Amino acid sequence: MTTMVEAKTQTGAETGFQPRIVAFVCNWCTYAGADLAGTSRLQYAPNVRIVKLPCTGRIDPLFVLKAFEGGADAVLVSGCHPGDCHYTSGNYHARRRWSIFRKLLDFTGIDSRRVFFSWVSAAEGRKFADLINDITEQVRAAGPFEKANPARRRA
């Protein structure tokens, strides 16, 4: 039997923690890649909730903060590969925005390692499945996003 102190020091992987991951994905590439993973019957962790948006360039950083406030343990932003954006340059805007946004995350006390950014095309179902499995394992090892964090909504 574990003591209370030992139970508090266990990592998420040791306690059976199942992370909640919110994925903001591009309609044209990453969402289609997720669809390909599903139709190809590729196995990936069921911990992700997908929010489909027209383009990663249109994702407001407040969406990410609201996801954490609402209970997410991690957030994924994923879109078209650079140069392949359906809207010409939306993914370039997103890439610039997220490089600056990471500094805001650190300022607010949110570990920037809980925000993931990737490029997945419509033909990369295997890459999407591997990405979700990798993120799930990293977040499970890190443990839950602390309820005491100021970014978390108060009940």
pLDDT score recorded for residue 6? 44
9 inside domain? no
63 inside domain? yes
In the chain, the number of structural domains is 1
**What are the pLDDT digits (tens) for 95-128?**
888 888 988 888 888 888 999 999 999 999 999 9
90 inside domain? yes
75 inside domain? yes
DSSP letter (8 states) at residue 27: T
Counting every residue written for the chain, the total comes to 155
CA distance 147 to 152: 6
CA distance 25 to 3: 42
Cβ contact 139:145 at 8 Å: no
pLDDT score recorded for residue 21? 98
Q: Is 137's pLDDT higher than 50?
A: yes
Q: Mean pLDDT of all residues in the chain?
A: 87
7 inside domain? no
pLDDT score recorded for residue 14? 58
**What are the pLDDT digits (tens) for 23-70?**
999 999 999 999 999 999 999 999 999 999 999 998 999 999 999 999
**What are the pLDDT digits (tens) for 5-31?**
444 445 555 568 999 999 999 999 999
Q: Which residues pair with 104 in a beta bridge?
A: none
94 inside domain? yes
- In Å, the largest CA–CA distance within the chain is 58
42 inside domain? yes
CATH code where residue 60 lies: 3.40.50
Sign of CA dihedral 38, 41, 42, 43: positive
| Global confidence as pTM | 0.85
pLDDT score recorded for residue 15? 66
126 inside domain? yes
Domain of 43 in residue numbering reads as 17-142
- Written as six digits, the tokens of 20 are 């909640």
pLDDT score recorded for residue 150? 66
Of residues 133, 149, 155, 142, the one with CA closest to residue 68: 149
- Binned at pLDDT 50, 70 and 90, residue 94 comes out as confident
